[in-house]
Amino acid sequence: MRPGPAEAVETVQTAPTVQTAGTGETDEPFQSFQTLQSLQTAEATAEPALAAGTAEAVALARAGTLASTAAGSPEARRRLAGQVYTVAWPIVYERLTRDIERRRGHRGCAVSFQKMLPECLDGFHDAVGAIVEYVLVHADRPIRNLPAWIATRITPATIDAHRRQRGRRGALQRPRLPAWLGRALDSDPWLGELALRILVWVGVPTTAGTGLWPLEDWAGRRAAATGDWTGSDPHRVQRDVDTVLAAMRKRPRWYADYVERPLGGKQTPVVAHPAGPAVEPTPLRLVSSAEEDDLRLTALAEAALAEIRQRLATGEPARAVVESVVRTVFAAEDPDSYARPPHEHVAAGERVLALICDAAEIDRIVTEVLAIIAEG
């Protein structure tokens, strides 16, 4: 558990409430207004009492040297981070977390951080950590009232942290619909919106329950976007997702970098083992077997083209080079196939061997490979 409430924001937590006549209940909107008002006018009011152990951070902030001192040594950064955390966490809870939990319908989480669900508490600590990082970097000018200054920096700090987190996961920090992808989707407004939502979703660490995509939510958005309220169900949205992913895979490297890689970092949902005899739950697969095959074959094709280019540059005959490389690269056994059930095993090597035994097929393959190499 983090340190207790900081006295530096005592005026925030003890804002006056109004009791509704005859109900015995407090008027929370009025309390929220009073809280916001007290934070916005803090610069013009008397200095609030400081929380125990935060005097150094507050003094450095007033001197405009908090950021430089924190950057001076790891020990100073750790010490000041703890003090800034003590100042910041009640403000973050009041200004950000409480409203988020109300919108989620988590009434207990919105009452007190001590009643927050574990997953909500994790998000709260992440938000406070983002604020602390922001303060230790940007508090490089004199700040007379550190709590009030933090209250005005919550939005830019959390946005910046969100983008950096997406970047660490390999996702696009500010997803935009590429022009080539819009053309591949025939400029369809809904498919373009869905493609953008996919790019946003892959950067989120969690999954949609036991599934990969939030199909229920997207079904509602599809209905609003297309007007098709009866046909917009999760099954239809899944077909739309497949259409968008197929268009994205037309640029394999882009797809691997900005869709497949961040998807691979998602947290796998864990469920309790069913009591008694039961069929083992179907494991969550982030990509289908067909997608895995496509990605593997694409990688092999890139390796084969690189080898063919290198050998053709030395003057070897094209037909012999292509036949040799194709046989070596594509007919090799795939070790990943042993992890699949028998009905999903694809004997790609056997098909390749059958093709290169046909003279006409060899001629066709050589022609297409040389055309690809000529295009660069």
Q: What pLDDT digit, counting tens, does each position of 23-37 carry?
A: 343 344 344 444 444
Rounded average pLDDT over 326-338: 70
Q: Residue 238's pLDDT band (boundaries 50, 70, 90)?
A: very high
Query: Which is higher by pLDDT, 306 or 270?
Result: 306
pLDDT exceeds cutoff 50 at 113: yes
Q: Residue 369's pLDDT band (boundaries 50, 70, 90)?
A: confident
User: b vs e for 269-305, b when ≥16 Cβ sit within 10 Å of the residue's Cβ?
Assistant: eeeeeeeeeeeeeeeeeebeeebbbbbeeeebbeebe
pLDDT exceeds cutoff 70 at 154: yes
37-58, pLDDT tens digit by residue? Answer: 444 444 334 344 556 678 899 9
Least trusted range by pLDDT, from 85-94, 164-173, 322-331: 164-173
pLDDT in the model for residue 335: 61
Rounded average pLDDT over 324-340: 71
Q: Residue 81's pLDDT band (boundaries 50, 70, 90)?
A: very high
Q: Rounded CA gap, 295 and 174, in Å?
A: 25
DSSP state of 344: G
Q: What is the pTM of this model?
A: 0.50
248-291, pLDDT tens digit by residue? Answer: 999 988 998 889 888 877 776 665 555 555 566 666 566 667 77
Phi, psi angles (nearest 5°) of residue 208: -90, 80
Q: Residue 144's pLDDT band (boundaries 50, 70, 90)?
A: very high
Q: Are 19 and 27 in contact (CB under 8 A)?
A: yes
| Average pLDDT score, the chain | 78
Least trusted range by pLDDT, from 52-61, 212-221, 286-295: 286-295
> Which long-range contacts does 97-101 make (Cβ < 8 Å, 24+ apart)?
97/123, 97/124, 97/127
Q: Are 151 and 91 in contact (CB under 8 A)?
A: yes
1-24, pLDDT tens digit by residue? Answer: 333 333 333 333 333 333 333 334
Distance of CA 184 to the CA centre of its chain: 24
pLDDT exceeds cutoff 80 at 108: yes
Q: How many Cα atoms are found within 13 Å in the side-chain-facing hemisphere of 241?
A: 22
